[in-house]
Structure 1
Amino acid sequence: MSVSVRVPTILRTYTGGESEVTATGATLAEVIDDLDASYAGIKARILDDNGALRRFVNVYVGDEDVRFLDELATPTPAGTKVSVIPAVAGG
């Protein structure tokens, strides 16, 4: 199932500068694997060494934060928009 993935500026070096790319997969995990197959190294910037979402990276499927859904098992139906958003901190 093809989905659209919004790529933050900091990760666009992996996508050749593209702000939005297409990936396939029935779940978020499959989408991330497909992204990494097309854009080598991007998965390591989204997932930690244990294969979980990095603490300071937020991922949304549609308008929902996957941490409040099924995390990497979150379904990604065709046409869904996935957004990868680095957390911003400051004071």
Structure 2
Amino acid sequence: MAIEVRIPTILRSYTGGAKAVDGSGSTIDELLTDLDTRHAGIRERIVDENAAGRLRRFVNVYLNDEDVRFLDGISTKLTDGDSVTILPAVAGGMS
């Protein structure tokens, strides 16, 4: 099963600078584990293992443009051809 994963600039040091990589898995959790086998350390930047394996608070993950937090979180099911986008949350505003 091929799934395209779009990588934000801040995590590209883990992917050798690649903006997108291919991964596999039947859930977001399995996909991130698969990515970590080829891009060591990337999973720990996205998943907080101390918080029962939940996504880190300031990292957003989208499946085909839908936030997985509103689906089944890290257990969200994937199918062949899906696109996953990882985005750091951005804070700011006017002072």
TM range (shorter): over 0.9
The CA deviation string for residues 41-69 of structure 1, in whole angstroms up to 9 with x for no partner, is 00000011322100000000111100000
The CA deviation string for residues 12-63 of structure 1, in whole angstroms up to 9 with x for no partner, is 0000000000000011100000000110000000011322100000000111
Tell which structure's C-alpha radius of gyration is larger: 2
Structure 2 unmatched runs, 5+: none
* TM-score using structure 2 length: 0.93
* TM-score using structure 1 length: 0.97
Which has the larger helix fraction? 2
Structure 1 unmatched runs, 5+: none
Name the residue aligned to 2:72: 70
Among all aligned residue pairs of Structure 1 and Structure 2, give the percentage whose two residues are the same amino acid: 57
Task: List, as ranges, runs of 4+ consecutive aligned residues in structure 1 with deviation greater than 6 Å.
Answer: none
Tell me the distance in 1 between the aligned counterparts of 2:34 and 2:77: 15
- Match of 1:5, SS state, is strand
* RMSD between superposed Cα atoms in Å: 0.7
Within a 5 Å distance, the mapping from 1:23-34 to structure 2 comes to: 23-34=23-34
